[in-house]
Amino acid sequence: MDIETELNNAQREAVLTTEGPVLVIAGAGSGKTRTIVYRLAHLVRQGVDPAQILLLTFTRKAAQEMLARAGAILGHPLTGTSGGTFHSFAYATLRRNTSDIGFGNGFTLMDRADCEAVCRDVKETLKLGKGDRSYPKKATLLDMITKSRNKELTIATVMEREAYHLSPYLDDLSAIADGYAVFKKQHALVDYDDLLFLLDTLLADNEPLRNQLRTRYRYIMVDEYQDTNLVQARIVGHLAGERGNVMAVGDDAQSIYAFRGANVANIMDFPKIFEGTKIIRLEKNYRSVQPILDLTNEILSGAAIKFDKHLYSDLKSDVLPQVVYPLSDQTQARLTVEHILDLGRKYALHDVAVLFRAGYQSFPLEVALTRVGLDYQKFGGIRFHEAAHIKDVLALLRLVVNPHDLMAWQRAVEHVKGIGPKTVARIYRAMHTDDAKYMATITKKHDELRELLNELDGLRAMAGRPSAILERILAFYQPILIDKYPDDYPKRQAGLEQLGQIAHNYTDMDQLLGDLSLDGDPDDEKRKENAVVLSTIHSAKGLEWSAVIIIDLVEERFPSRKAMQRPEDLEEERRLMYVACTRAKECLTLFVPSSVYNRQSGISDPTLPSPFVLELPSTVFTPLKESYGGSLEKRWPVDSRPSFGTAAKSAVREQDAQPVQARPAATVNPEKLGFCTHKIFGRGKIIACPAPNKYKVNFPGFGIKTIIGDYLEML
């Protein structure tokens, strides 16, 4: 093991600093795992008993890999080292101390199915939701309870922020949560969340045990510290003490799991909690070429709260990342496919990834890829053709074209209570044998069936474009959507909006159905060969590709509409953008559609580019604007003028501006892109400048406001 030659200076410092608290800020692609592995090996090489080392990770696989690699360096296994997840460590510790946590005869650990069953039983015992078809399912009940506990917020707060459509059931959910806790205690049951909270309480109250564990685990290492929640951070504090030998490794800029309870404050406050913390920054990137890192550094420069870091690489390139401005979200899919085909000449298709903020955003692209015969594999969210609500609507569309489609009939009537597969078959026979008597009887018995049949008759009588027919179907389906999927219908609604936008491009119904129904093989767990990767950014964390394309970089899509209401959520969206860009090794392309089709008005509404794009200085990317002829030209779009971020305060070099035609002057003063105050709304963060002396400001508690600069005081 040659630390001098096999590690860079920052990695070497992290490995050799073994005493006292250490915080390693590991930028994307900076060799974080390598550093942990070498530190494990170094500790043992220096005579530390492996049994005195505790390695906490977020997956068992990660811990096993690190211990195996350290053993390979040493030439023998690290026998005795405790390495695993927070939950596995908690389980083992609690098992040895059952009487101290109120389970003298032991406890049983429940899996997800067990927990859902308990929620269902508690609901039934409390006689809640009887006869209410819209009542939240047991999985949703458990999700709300788990989110509330992991975030350490009330169910009311979680519901207000993430599931407002469930607010009529707030009192019921609170009662079920209380009953769930009582049931577990009465039956000596423990869920995964309990493992952490019971250990936290045990360590806080039991000083002898706390001291015993501190003596045993003299060296503690925690991976992905930015993903810890509040209780996990407290457990680390109990085990290490204020001055213990604890090393936390992570990247504040990659904290993107707040929806699971992760709290970025844990890594930010680490130096405050552990006295005398030494901060070491891993900034050398081994993944991406320097122009990509220049762009990602600019994204980070706009963060309100962060550990300063500047990623750099020995991998050079003369090619800047591209920012493509399609005329609309409709043409974005076509241009993305063309770009993928172009990249396919240089890279294997499985080494090309298209990333997006939410799963539904890839639907138009999935259709476009299918149309040209390009295979793809999707991670995060479900494939367009597999979404249940999309199948529901397509069944109605198929019946407009072909009333003999039995499978479509089965799908179309499954929301009608009291009608199963056998009755559907009987209805099908009656319709095709003109059995008017049976049809009169069955429709009289089922009002919903009569409404469905009348709607289909009306749809078949319609003439016009597929988009008009689909518009009417979506209006008819809306109450069915809410009734059939009460737990998450707002999320599904976004997918239906995309379906409506896809239909806008078609004049032939058969062609539309053909493109929508060409379903490929279901995704495998393993990555396919020669298939483009489509992925949500959350699912892409930890992965890398030679070429990365990010789509829909406009306000209300990325950042999402919900995220723009709270400053801390907007900051997480910035980190999400950083994670997305740092997945690229050689080629990075950002798509910023200039308009989004509005189904209600039938026209395309102009969009405002994502603030993360607006902040980028013109020196770090090449702009490409779609012409009305469909080609791409190297020039700034008129509706998206270059704005200069904090790292671009120096003037743009004259030669950089020369190749760009008709480039308007910058309208955002770099000194004013930051924070401001307003007499009514208070302090806010400026996120964009859509016009001279006009600012879009995010005010906590009030949301996004567009305000004339004269009424703002710049900070």
SS3 per residue for 525-559: CCCCCCCEEEEEHHHHCCCCEEEEEECCCECEECC
Cα separation values, 584 from 100, 622, 625, Å: 50, 16, 22
What architecture (CATH level 2) is domain 9-96+195-283? 3-Layer(aba) Sandwich (3.40)
Q: How many beta carbons lie within 10 A of that of residue 217, not counting itself?
A: 22
The answer to whether the beta carbons of residues 552 and 361 sit under 8 Å apart is yes
Give the mean pLDDT of 438-466.
Answer: 88
| Per-residue pLDDT, 276 | 92
- Checking if the pLDDT of 663 tops 60, the result is no
Q: How many beta carbons lie within 10 A of that of residue 388, not counting itself?
A: 11
Question: pLDDT grade, residue 658 (50/70/90)?
Answer: very low
Alpha-carbon gap, residue 387 to 407, rounded angstroms: 16
Query: Full-prediction pTM beyond 0.75?
Result: yes
Percent of the chain's residues with pLDDT above 90: 53
Cα separation values, 456 from 269, 405, 512, Å: 60, 13, 18
The answer to whether the beta carbons of residues 230 and 152 sit under 8 Å apart is yes
State residue 628 phi and psi, 5-degree precision: -70, -15
Cβ-Cβ contacts under 8 Å for 96 (sequence gap 6 or more): none
Mean pLDDT of all residues belonging to the chain: 87
- Checking if the pLDDT of 155 tops 60, the result is yes
Q: Is the peptide bond before 642 cis (omega within 30 degrees of 0)?
A: no
Alpha-carbon gap, residue 690 to 685, rounded angstroms: 15
Alpha-carbon gap, residue 628 to 624, rounded angstroms: 13
As a three-state string, the secondary structure of 295-310 is HHHHHHHCCCCCCCCC
- Checking if the pLDDT of 691 tops 50, the result is yes
- Checking if the pLDDT of 320 tops 90, the result is yes
| Per-residue pLDDT, 119 | 95
The answer to whether the beta carbons of residues 532 and 338 sit under 8 Å apart is no
- Checking if the pLDDT of 518 tops 70, the result is no
- Checking if the pLDDT of 694 tops 90, the result is no
| Per-residue pLDDT, 330 | 85
Binding site for ATP, by residue number, is 26-33
> 682: helix, coil or strand?
strand
- Checking if the pLDDT of 370 tops 80, the result is yes
| Per-residue pLDDT, 340 | 97
Please identify which residue in the block is written with the tokens 């909270």.
197
- Checking if the pLDDT of 389 tops 70, the result is yes
| Per-residue pLDDT, 636 | 65
| Per-residue pLDDT, 655 | 29
Q: Which residues of 457-468 are buried (b: 16+ CB within 10 A; e: fewer)?
A: eebeeeeebbbe
- Checking if the pLDDT of 16 tops 80, the result is yes
State residue 303 phi and psi, 5-degree precision: -70, 140
Indicate the CATH number for domain 384-518.
1.10.486
Domain 301-381+526-634 = CATH 3.40.50.300: yes
| Per-residue pLDDT, 526 | 59
Among 79-83, 563-567, 572-576, which is the least confidently predicted range? 563-567
Q: pLDDT tens-digit profile of 182-210?
A: 999 988 899 999 999 999 999 999 999 99
Round to the nearest angstrom and report the end-to-end CA distance of the chain: 52
Question: pLDDT grade, residue 704 (50/70/90)?
Answer: confident
Comparing CA positions, the residue from 155, 203, 549 lying closest to residue 368 is: 549
Amino acid at 529: E
Q: pLDDT tens-digit profile of 337-359?
A: 999 999 999 999 999 999 999 98
Question: pLDDT grade, residue 660 (50/70/90)?
Answer: very low
Comparing CA positions, the residue from 423, 435, 479 lying closest to residue 455 is: 479
> 101: helix, coil or strand?
helix
Q: pLDDT tens-digit profile of 456-490?
A: 989 988 877 888 898 899 999 998 998 888 888 88
Cβ-Cβ contacts under 8 Å for 204 (sequence gap 6 or more): 210, 234, 238
Alpha-carbon gap, residue 238 to 188, rounded angstroms: 25
Rounded (5°) CA angle 260-261-267: 120
Comparing CA positions, the residue from 342, 390, 338 lying closest to residue 363 is: 390
- Checking if the pLDDT of 533 tops 80, the result is yes
Q: How many beta carbons lie within 10 A of that of residue 27, not counting itself?
A: 27
| Per-residue pLDDT, 702 | 63
Binding site, by residue number, is 26-33
- Checking if the pLDDT of 667 tops 60, the result is no
- Checking if the pLDDT of 644 tops 70, the result is no
Give the mean pLDDT of 300-324.
Answer: 93
Question: pLDDT grade, residue 421 (50/70/90)?
Answer: confident
Alpha-carbon gap, residue 243 to 237, rounded angstroms: 10
* DSSP one-letter code for 557: B
Q: pLDDT tens-digit profile of 118-135?
A: 999 999 999 998 888 889
Q: What's the alpha-carbon Rg for the chain, to the nearest Å?
A: 28
| Per-residue pLDDT, 1 | 63
Burial of 534: CB neighbours in 10 Å, binned 0-12, 13-18, 19+: buried
> How do beta strands 595-598 and 603-606 pair?
antiparallel
| Per-residue pLDDT, 293 | 97
652 versus 332: the higher-pLDDT residue is 332
Percent of the chain's residues with pLDDT above 70: 92
| Per-residue pLDDT, 517 | 67
Token pair in block for residue 619: 């020196």
| Per-residue pLDDT, 387 | 82
Token pair in block for residue 225: 């510290």
